[in-house]
Amino acid sequence: MIARLRQWATAHRGLATACAVAAVILLLTVRRLAFRTEEGKVPERAVSVAVETARTGDIAEYLDGIGTVTPRATVTVHTRVDGQLMAVHYQEGEAVEAGDLLVEIDPRPFQVQLEQAQGQLGRDQALLANAKVDVQRYRALAKDDAIPRQQLDTQEALVRQYEAAIVADQGQIDAAKLNLVYSRVTAPVTGRIGLRLVDAGNLVHASDTGGLAVVTQLKPIDVVFTIPEDELPAVMAKVRAGERLAVDALDRVGTTKLASGALLTIDNTIDPATGTVRLKAEFPNDDEALFPNQFVNARLELDVRHGATLVPEAAVQRGTQGTFVWAVKDDQTVEMRPVTLGITEGPDASIDNGITPGERVVVEGAEGLRPGTRVAVQARRTPATPAHRGAP
């Protein structure tokens, strides 16, 4: 019997060893779990984020519209007399002042007309003087019945005829002098003159449709732009209150400010096809940054909120619950804070409620955050440009 037991123990010695090892592993596992239960969970790894502090500041409310630069005046210069173009006194593209001499037309035909009219005036003045002397004689003779009454009446009518001829002669003189003035074509407005349309030596006529040159007024200059009709009441309220609303002209991309001006007027109708209304703004344009027919983005400053709570626009998140921010608490954990968004302008956004100045908000690294997540604050890696991220 004893021999059989020894034989069985020898045969199952490996199994016993395996069971002993398993028992040791099981014991160690139980002790490790017990240690975790007593000490708590393994600390969660902190998430790296960039933060900014909410601050108090001013933020402007703008209305954006697409606009076109419109010159205050564009004048095609025509000749008012016919003749040969003798000289051109301007350089293409240069700035001209109202009254500057632009071109000269041959004045000699008009000078000849003036001399002829002056000669005719002198002749008629002499005839008038002689007729008046004859009238005086005829009146003396008529008193003595030496001549018929009809002869005196005829002589008095001749005097009135010469007087009328002198008036006509003076009109011819004035017309000739005016033609001499018109032979010197001057700039009608102050502005920039365009390319030359007619060269010296050509015959020009008052009936020519092309004109001699085009002068465009650049200072000041206007921008006509549109805004949605829903925004019109707010703008009208400001205008009726006598406020002068500032308008900025931005480039085609909308990133670079070209010029600053002010709202000039509002159109009297709304375009039913687009639901927009046209506005006109005036710009001094002293540096000539705006050019006629240039496409610009117009920004009308409607209002300025003073003392608003501002955070970077990148901190504002949007999810199914609405807008919120990740606020960093003193213990370096985050909480989801619902906020009421006010005005968003550039990299900043105003918060009406939900955040107070001095609190820190996450602007980068919000993708993996959950309420209570521990964070490690790092330097911001990207510029402060507007960016929206959805809720986790």
Higher pLDDT, 264 or 320: 264
C-alpha–C-alpha distance, residues 47 and 270, integer Å: 53
Within-domain flag for 17: yes
Residues 132 and 249 both lie in one domain: no
pLDDT of residue 23: 54
Within-domain flag for 254: yes
Q: Is 285 left (phi over 0), alpha (psi -120 to 50) or beta?
A: left
Within-domain flag for 39: no
pLDDT of residue 139: 85
**Is the pLDDT at 126 greater than 90, yes or no?**
yes
Helix axes 2-11, 13-39, angle to 10 degrees: 60
Residues 87 and 203 both lie in one domain: yes
pLDDT tens for residues 383-392? 554 433 333 3
Q: Which of 304, 339, 373 is the last residue of a domain?
A: 304
The pLDDT of 281-297, averaged and rounded, is 94
The pLDDT of 329-337, averaged and rounded, is 90
Q: How many CA atoms lie within 13 A of 132 on its CB side?
A: 9
Within-domain flag for 257: yes
Residues 362 and 260 both lie in one domain: no
Higher pLDDT, 39 or 346: 346
Residues 207 and 224 both lie in one domain: no
The pLDDT of 367-389, averaged and rounded, is 71
pLDDT band at 260 (very low <50, low <70, confident <90, very high): very high
C-alpha–C-alpha distance, residues 165 and 311, integer Å: 88
pTM for the predicted model, two decimal places? 0.67
Within-domain flag for 40: no
Residues 87 and 206 both lie in one domain: yes
pLDDT of residue 346: 78
pLDDT band at 321 (very low <50, low <70, confident <90, very high): confident
Give the count of domains, the chain.
Answer: 5
Residue 64 in tokens = 């954006």
Residues 294 and 370 both lie in one domain: no
Within-domain flag for 187: no
Task: Specify the CATH number for the domain of residue 313.
Answer: 2.40.420.20
Which residue range forms the structural domain that includes residue 28?
2-34
pLDDT of residue 383: 57
Listed residue (278, 357, 344) closest to 316, CA to CA: 344
Chain centre distance of CA 8: 102
Residues 256 and 139 both lie in one domain: no
Residues 23 and 132 both lie in one domain: no
pLDDT tens for residues 28-83? 554 554 444 444 444 567 888 899 999 998 888 889 999 999 999 999 999 999 99
Q: Which residues pair with 186 in a beta bridge?
A: 101
pLDDT band at 202 (very low <50, low <70, confident <90, very high): very high
Residues 310 and 380 both lie in one domain: yes
SS3 329: coil
C-alpha–C-alpha distance, residues 267 and 361, integer Å: 44
Within-domain flag for 354: yes
Residues 147 and 208 both lie in one domain: no
- To the nearest whole number, what is the mean pLDDT of the chain? 85
C-alpha–C-alpha distance, residues 183 and 110, integer Å: 9
Backbone φ, ψ for residue 265 (5° rounding): -160, 170
**Is the pLDDT at 96 greater than 80, yes or no?**
yes
For 147-256, strand residue ranges (E) read 184-186, 191-193, 203-204, 213-216, 221-228, 246-250
Residues 89 and 113 both lie in one domain: no
The pLDDT of 242-248, averaged and rounded, is 93
pLDDT of residue 366: 83
DSSP sequence for 2-54 = HHHHHHHHHHTHHHHHHHHHHHHHHHHHHHHHHHHHHH-SPPPPPEEEEEEE-
Residues 286 and 331 both lie in one domain: no
Higher pLDDT, 389 or 304: 304
Cβ atoms of residues 118 and 173 within 8 Å: yes
